[in-house]
Structure 1
């Protein structure tokens, strides 16, 4: 089992089928909170849906196309973060993340995104990391902004969110910029 310790309270653990129940419970408890910005909640209505999600994550990891981890805060699963996709030909990773309701405001996701950025450059040898967030999702956008990612622009109507489209802001960090900080 892969675990990357960030600090005394915070770790990333490669997602595992044994996480199905805990992750589904967190999703279900945070459903209304998460549904504001994530389009997949209507498709995650039972533990089996979470199990299928995890199987897809493990397949992506085995094929070296993605890396999905659960976020452990004081030993408890509080969210998910990782590289939704790794484009090896362009040496770019795309970070995605979500945090359960009640765990925001502790600096968790900023530390997680910082760790994933560092890992992408120093361990995987990638050249660029991107984070995308809906224009109106100020909490999610604050994370790459705190880490001094560059706002590279807006993709109009990038995502269908239940009954409307949302625009995405694209944030990017290059390896040379990260190492210069």
Structure 2
């Protein structure tokens, strides 16, 4: 099993099928919170759906097209972070994440995201990382902003979210900028 110790409290563990029930329970307890910005929440109706997601994540890993990790805080599953896919020809990827409501405000996502970016630029040798977030999703947008990603623009009506389109703010960082520390970590 893959795991990475972010700090004494935070651990990233490869999103494996054995976490299906636990992940579903976290999603189910946080439906209203997660549904505000994530389009897949209503379709996650039982642990079987989280199992399908985790099986898909393992196929993605096997195909060398990215990965997903469960974020554990002091032993409790708090959320998920991963790569949507990897564009090897252009050496770029994008990061997606979600966090249960009770775990916000502890720096978990910023620290987890920093660890993933370090891995992407270090071990994977990619050149670009992108994060997209709903324009009005201030909490999600704060992550790339804290990590020094550049706001590169807004994509209008980028995503259908239940009953409306939402615009996405697009953030990016290049390996050269990350390495020279052009941001405050």
Write the distance in 1 (CA, Å) between the matches of 2:114 and 2:17: 26
Which ranges of 4 or more aligned residues in structure 1 deviate by more than 4 Å? none
- Contiguous gaps of at least 5 residues in structure 2: none
Aligned to 2:47: 47
Deviations 1:54-101 (A, max 9, x none): 111111111011210000111111000011111111101110000011
**2-side partners of 1:174 and 1:11: how far apart?**
25
CA RMSD, Structure 1 to Structure 2 (Å):
0.6
SS of match in other structure, 1:43: coil
Q: How many matched pairs? A: 181
Cross-structure match for 1:109: 109
CA–CA distance in structure 1, aligned partners of residues 8 and 117 of structure 2:
20
Question: In 1, distance between residues paired with 2:17 and 2:56?
Answer: 11
Structure 1 regions of 5+ residues with no counterpart? none
Q: 1:41 Cα deviation (Å)? A: 0.8
Query: What residue is the counterpart of 1:75 in the other structure?
Result: 75
Aligned residue for 2:125, secondary structure, equals coil
Counterpart mapping for 1:1-150 below 5 A = 1-150=1-150
**1:109-168 deviations in whole A, cap 9, x for unaligned?**
000111111110011000000000000000000000000100010111110000000000
Q: Distance in 2 between matches of 1:86 and 1:116?
A: 13
Q: Cα offset for 1:15?
A: 0.6
Work out whether 1:161 is the aligned partner of 2:161.
yes
**TM-score for both structures, normalised by structure 1:** 0.99
The separation in 2 between residues aligned to 1:121 and 1:137, in whole angstroms, is 26
